[in-house]
Amino acid sequence: MSGYVKVASLGELEDDTPKRVDVDGTPVSLVRTEGEVFAINDICSHANVSLSEGEVEDCAIECWLHGSSFDLRTGKPSGLPATRPVPVYPVKIEGDGPDAAVLVSVTQES
């Protein structure tokens, strides 16, 4: 449990609509999609752009500036111009229903 921080309630997250949160000073984009919640660093690896302003599709988040998509499970870009992955973080859900707590740990990359 150490390192996990509550960042949202499940009910606050809409499908395919990223939510930017701050976890111990690290900007994180939370994405609920395909029945799961993912946490990915909010800053594109190509330039200082907030990924949570991009679109979610096929378990990936697209950077709106130049169009690289990052896999929400691995952080790897699917194509240029980004070549480096973005860190992804482990997520835990505690509880049931919309009040379930969404916890993220940025001290360990998943």
Residues in 58-97 that interact with ligand FES by CB under 6 A? 63, 65-66, 68, 81-82
Of 49, 86, 91, 102, which lies in the binding site for ligand FES, with binding defined by CB under 6 A? 49
Q: 5-44 mask for ligand FES (x: CB under 6 A)?
A: ---------------------------------------x
Q: Minimum distance between the CB of residue 77 and ligand FES, rounded to whole angstroms?
A: 8
- Residue pair 30/92 in contact (Cβ under 8 Å)? The answer is no
